[in-house]
């Protein structure tokens, strides 16, 4: 089986082309657990399967290291877009089907090389039944487990916490506490954000399904941008930069969220 390894701002993925359906549905979760294992497999924050679609250029299926399937992944979709472009499967503008809907993706090039990938992430969902979260209305600045939390769905459920010092923070302990809070019936990714400039933020994320801090989370950065605007820390139409441990990602929110960031090929192999 041939695989391709990519990362988007340090968030790393195994990509396998499954256009002919060689990998059966019942095997996908088991395969993700095996291949994503850092010691006994290839190692990765997720397994992405590139599959055929009847309504878009291709379909993205993404499975976490624990075998659960995620609806969407911002860094992952950028890596997939670069992969299928480099392999001449698609052009620079792509429609990719995900469990969170069809996403518009555009490859940008500089001096003949791919520099960034831009994704229309769609409209953020603030209503609790769309996140999902227990209760009614929007979940903005509510105290959960003793922590002031906001929440939004940007393809997957996200909790967002603004802090004064992001470096002096036990992300895994606090993230796990909120991720398993009963207010989130399907769990949530948890983002800790510190504003360091007018349009500039630092971010660290505990990811559901990976069950630890990752170097970056694209949907989490989009969620954090949406909450920053909702609580008055930023404005619509501005380009916001988020510094994750693995690199920088840019977000602009109009009616929909546009995320721009890197996607890098690492290596390919057979297993």
Helix/strand/coil for 260:
strand
Phi, psi of 221 (to 5 degrees): -65, -40
Residue with tokens 């791919």: 114
Neighbour tally for 43: CB within 10 Å: 14
Helix/strand/coil for 18:
coil
Q: Which residues form the catalytic set?
A: 73, 217
Cβ partners under 8 Å of residue 113, min gap 6: none
User: How far apart are alpha carbons 125 and 105 in whole angstroms?
Assistant: 20
Per residue in 53-72, pLDDT (tens digit) is 999 999 999 999 999 999 99
Q: Are 189 and 196 a contacting pair, CB within 8 Å?
A: no
What is the dihedral sign for C-alpha 33, 36, 38, 44? Answer: negative
Helix axes 74-86, 218-230, angle to 10 degrees: 130
Per residue in 146-187, pLDDT (tens digit) is 999 999 999 999 999 999 999 999 999 999 999 999 999 999
The HSE-up count of residue 6 (CA atoms within 13 Å, CB side) is 23
Q: Are 41 and 269 a contacting pair, CB within 8 Å?
A: no
Neighbour tally for 92: CB within 10 Å: 13
Q: Are 240 and 250 a contacting pair, CB within 8 Å?
A: yes
Supply 166's token pair: 């992001």
Supply 71's token pair: 């609806």
CATH topology of domain 2-120+260-270: Diaminopimelate Epimerase; Chain A, domain 1 (3.10.310)
Domain ranges in the chain are 2-120+260-270, 142-254
* Residue-by-residue pLDDT tens, the chain, 271 positions: 999 999 999 999 999 999 999 999 999 999 999 999 999 999 999 999 999 999 999 999 999 999 999 999 999 999 999 999 999 999 999 999 999 999 999 998 776 777 799 999 999 999 999 999 999 999 999 999 899 999 999 999 999 999 999 999 999 999 999 999 999 999 999 999 999 999 999 999 999 999 999 999 999 999 999 999 999 999 999 999 999 999 999 999 999 999 999 999 999 999 9
Give the CATH number of domain 142-254: 3.10.310.10
């Amino acid at each position: 089986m041939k695989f391709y390894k990519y990362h988007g701002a340090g968030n790393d993925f195994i990509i396998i082309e499954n256009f002919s359906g060689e990998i059966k549905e019942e095997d996908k979760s088991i395969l993700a657990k095996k291949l994503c294992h850092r010691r006994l497999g290839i190692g990765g924050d997720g397994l992405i399967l590139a599959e055929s679609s009847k309504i878009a250029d291709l379909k993205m299926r993404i499975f976490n290291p624990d075998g659960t399937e995620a609806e969407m992944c911002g860094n992952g979709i950028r890596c997939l877009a670069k992969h299928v472009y480099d392999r001449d499967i698609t052009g620079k503008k792509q429609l990719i089907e995900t469990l969170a809907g069809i996403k518009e993706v555009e490859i940008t090039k500089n001096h003949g090389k791919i520099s960034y990938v831009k994704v229309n992430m769609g409209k953020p969902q603030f209503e609790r039944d769309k996140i999902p979260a227990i209760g009614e209305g929007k979940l903005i600045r509510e105290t959960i487990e003793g922590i002031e939390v906001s929440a939004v769905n940007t393809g997957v459920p996200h909790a967002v916490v603004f802090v004064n010092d992001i470096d002096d923070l036990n992300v895994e302990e606090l993230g796990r506490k909120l991720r398993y809070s009963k207010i989130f019936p399907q769990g949530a990714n948890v983002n800790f954000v510190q504003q360091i400039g007018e349009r500039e933020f630092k971010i660290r994320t505990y990811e559901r399904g990976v069950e630890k801090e990752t170097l970056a989370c694209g949907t989490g950065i989009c969620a954090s941008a949406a909450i920053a605007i909702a609580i008055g820390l930023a404005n619509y139409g501005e380009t916001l930069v988020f510094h994750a441990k693995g690199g920088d990602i840019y977000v602009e929110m109009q009616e929909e969220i546009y995320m721009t960031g890197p996607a890098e090929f690492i290596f390919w192999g057979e297993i």
